Amino acid sequence: MSGEERRCQILQTAISLFAEKGFSGTTTKEIAQRAGVSEAMVFRHFARKSDIYDAILDNRAAHEGMRFPWENDERILRAIREKDDFTLFYTLALIALNKQQADVSFIRLLFYSALEEHELAARFFNGFVMRMYSFIGEYIKERQRDGAYRQLDPKVAVRAFMGMIIHHSINVILWDKGGKILDLSNEEAAKNFTEILLKGIMA
Amino acid sequence: MSGEERRCQILQTAISLFAEKGFSGTTTKEIAQRAGVSEAMVFRHFARKSDIYDAILDNRAAHEGMRFPWENDERILRAIREKDDFTLFYTLALIALNKQQADVSFIRLLFYSALEEHELAARFFNGFVMRMYSFIGEYIKERQRDGAYRQLDPKVAVRAFMGMIIHHSINVILWDKGGKILDLSNEEAAKNFTEILLKGIMA
DNA sequence: GTCTATAAATAGATAGAC
DNA sequence: GTCTATCTATTTATAGAC
């Protein structure tokens, strides 16, 4: 295997372990074992263990989780043009829920990084999250000008909406794994949260 | 210092360190240093490091975070009797927000324990969270029978409401510390979320 | 590029004196 | 109940051969 390939493979292995057990809960030995190489190989590519964590910042795959999958999504662009509120928020919610639950590993990594105060969390927040607030916030402002929504801080509406969605995913992933309290398809969840939000902010 | 006192003090120190850096991110040496004792003292009271983590389960102070501060709260009991929806949800939200943000340490401990899959998280979920769902859920059912709220799964409404609240606190605590995106008093947040929920679920 | 062997540092845990 | 000293295991990290 070439240097670049090996480096990448070790990094992927480490990311998945950091997501499972956090940075300090993961040993270089485990990383090496799961990657199927010797520990010396790990240190050949990353001088210190913390360099592996830092390398996540430049990793393409990790940034996958920070992509805006809807910026070129035809359903969404059309819903915005047509001011089809339900379709817009429903589609946003459904895409988010599916994405979050398909990438449990990324969500866990993100929460660990927030608790451990690693730059990854800050970068996610300053990139993805802020962009999200302005994207949805702008639409809400426009609809307020139309008189369709009542006057409230658009950012509060975004927080409420994202709160329902993310909190639901966190429950599915972290707290209520078996669906003990609430077992709901993502379609049902998206529909219900969208209805609550829209009725909640309409004029 | 007596044995029991010392044990308790070491436990408190450990809890606060586990909240900061997680279980594996904390060393027994640090615990000893911050508690102002030798490492030997730590191991005198807790044979193994993991025993400290486990002892949190029997700790009164940790259970403080799992209390229902409103079960004897006159404002809330009265709001239920009078079916004063706004006051009920507003008060619940405000108490929750204030409590969460006053006990950042407990919230962090809880999230670490969920990621680390420690029993603390499961106990919190099976105790506090489930009780919360049935408490609010029952009220919503009653109001649905009254014809005041539209038909939807009460648990979905609870998840939406708790989602807004908890997600907001998590933002304040973990992600948006400086209030970069949204800087809101807990009163404003409680008011806004309550309005969105109530308009969102009313008939 | 890969490994085995080993060093160095740290973490968890114990012994025994006071 | 408390400490110092010590031990062992683990973890991070390096050296050097192939």
Q: Is the confidence at residue B195, as pLDDT, over 90?
A: yes
Q: Quick one: closest CA in B to A109, which residue?
A: B115
Cβ–Cβ gap A129/B192 under 8 Å? no
pLDDT given at position A71: 80
Chain A: nearest CA to B5, how far in angstroms?
30
pLDDT digit string, tens, across residues B33-42: 999 999 999 9
SS3 string of chain A? CCHHHHHHHHHHHHHHHHHHHCCCCCCHHHHHHHHCCCHHHHHHHCCCHHHHHHHHHHCHHHHHCCCCCCCCCHHHHHHHHHCCHHHHHHHHHHHHHHHHHHCHHHHHHHHHHHHCCCHHHHHHHHHHHHHHHHHHHHHHHHHHHCCCECCCCHHHHHHHHHHHHHHHHHHHHHHCCCCCCCCCCHHHHHHHHHHHHHHHHEC
Query: Helix axis angle, A3-21 relative to A104-115, nearest 10°?
Result: 70
pLDDT digit string, tens, across residues A114-148: 999 999 999 999 999 999 999 999 999 999 999 99
For the residues B96-106, what does the mean pLDDT come to?
96
Q: Is the confidence at residue B69, as pLDDT, over 90?
A: no
What average pLDDT is seen over chain A?
A: 96
Cβ–Cβ gap B125/A193 under 8 Å? no
pLDDT given at position B1: 85
What average pLDDT is seen over chain B?
A: 96
pLDDT given at position A60: 84
Q: Is the confidence at residue A72, as pLDDT, over 90?
A: no
At residue B184 the predicted structure's pLDDT band, cuts being 50, 70 and 90, is: very high
Q: Which of A69, A104, A98, A86 is nearest to A193 (CA)?
A: A86
pLDDT given at position A65: 85
Q: Is the confidence at residue B61, as pLDDT, over 90?
A: no
Q: Which among B22, B133, B196 has CB closest to A201? A: B196
At residue B124 the predicted structure's pLDDT band, cuts being 50, 70 and 90, is: very high
Q: Which among A155, A168, A176 has CB closest to B163? A: A168
CA distances for A109 relative to A52, B125, B164, angstroms: 13, 21, 22
Q: Which among B111, B167, B202 has CB closest to A167? A: B167
Strand D–CB B41 distance below 7 A: yes
What the block records as the tokens of B14 is 């450990």
Q: For residue A9, which nucleotide's C1' is closest to its Cα?
A: C1
pLDDT given at position A122: 97
Determine contact, residues A90/A194, Cβ cutoff 8 Å.
Answer: yes
pLDDT digit string, tens, across residues A166-187: 999 999 999 999 999 999 999 9
Strand C–CB A44 distance below 7 A: yes
Number of Cα atoms under 13 Å in the Cβ half of residue B54? 7
Q: Quick one: closest CA in B to A198, which residue?
A: B200
The larger pLDDT score, comparing residue B80 to residue A65, is at B80
Q: What is the DSSP string of B20-70?
A: HH-STT--HHHHHHHHTS-HHHHHHH-SSHHHHHHHGGG-HHHHHTT--TT
At residue B191 the predicted structure's pLDDT band, cuts being 50, 70 and 90, is: very high
Question: CA–CA separation, A167 vs A171, rounded Å?
Answer: 6
**Exposed, middle or buried, B167 (CB in 10 Å: 0-12/13-18/19+)?**
buried
At residue A70 the predicted structure's pLDDT band, cuts being 50, 70 and 90, is: confident
Q: Which among B133, B181, B195 has CB closest to A200? A: B195
At residue B62 the predicted structure's pLDDT band, cuts being 50, 70 and 90, is: confident
Where on strand D do bases come within 7 A of a protein Cβ?
1-6, 10-16
For the residues A153-168, what does the mean pLDDT come to?
98
Task: Give residue for tokens 């927080």.
Answer: A159
pLDDT given at position A61: 83
Our measurement of CA A37 to C1' C2, in angstroms, reads: 8
Cβ–Cβ gap B130/A181 under 8 Å? yes
Residues 6+ apart with CB under 8 A from B37: B6, B10
- What is the reported pTM? 0.97
Q: Is the dihedral of CA B186, B188, B192, B198 positive or negative?
A: positive
With beta carbons under 8 A apart, name residues in chain B contacting A200. Answer: 195-200
DSSP conformation class of B72: T
For the residues A178-197, what does the mean pLDDT come to?
98
Determine contact, residues A186/A171, Cβ cutoff 8 Å.
Answer: no
Cβ–Cβ gap A201/B197 under 8 Å? no
Strand D–CB A181 distance below 7 A: no
pLDDT given at position B77: 95
Our measurement of CA A43 to C1' C5, in angstroms, reads: 15
pLDDT given at position A63: 86
Strand C–CB B21 distance below 7 A: no
Our measurement of CA A43 to C1' D14, in angstroms, reads: 9
